[in-house]
Amino acid sequence: MFEKNTSERVRSEQTATGAARSERAAVSIRHLSKSFDGVEVLRDVDLEVREGDVVTILGSSGSGKSTLLRCINWLEQPDRGSIHIGGQRIGVNDAGRPMPVRELARVRARTGMVFQSFNLWPHLNVLHNVTEAPIHVLGKSKAEAEAHARELLEKVGMSAKADAYPGTLSGGQKQRVAIARALAMQPEVMLFDEPTSALDPELVGEVLAVIKDLSAEGYTMIVVTHEMAFSRAVSDKVVFLDKGLIIEQADPETFFTNPSTERVRKFLEREES
Q: Which residues bind another protein (CB under 8 A)?
A: 73, 75, 101-102, 105-106, 108-113, 115, 117, 119-123, 132-133, 136-138, 165-167, 178, 181-182, 185, 191
Comparing CB distances to another protein, the nearer of 109 and 223 is 109
* Least distance in angstroms from the C-beta of 129 to another protein: 9
81 vs 171 by CB, closer to another protein: 171
Residue 125 Cβ, how far from another protein at the closest point, in Å? 9
137 or 229: CB nearest another protein: 137
Integer Cα distance of 89 and 94 in angstroms: 8
Could you give the C-alpha distances from 272 to 49, 96, 118, 262, in angstroms and in order?
Answer: 28, 46, 28, 15
Nearest to another protein of 124, 209 (CB atom): 124
Task: In angstroms, give the least distance from the CB of 14 to another protein.
Answer: 25
When the beta carbons of 40 and 151 are compared against another protein, the nearer one is: 151
Min dist CB 1 to another protein, Å, is 10
Q: How far is the CB of 138 from another protein (least distance, A)?
A: 8
Smallest gap from Cβ 12 to another protein, in A, equals: 19
Please, how many CA atoms are within 13 Å of residue 261, restricted to the half-sphere of its CB?
13
Task: Output 192 or 267, the one with its CB closest to another protein.
Answer: 192
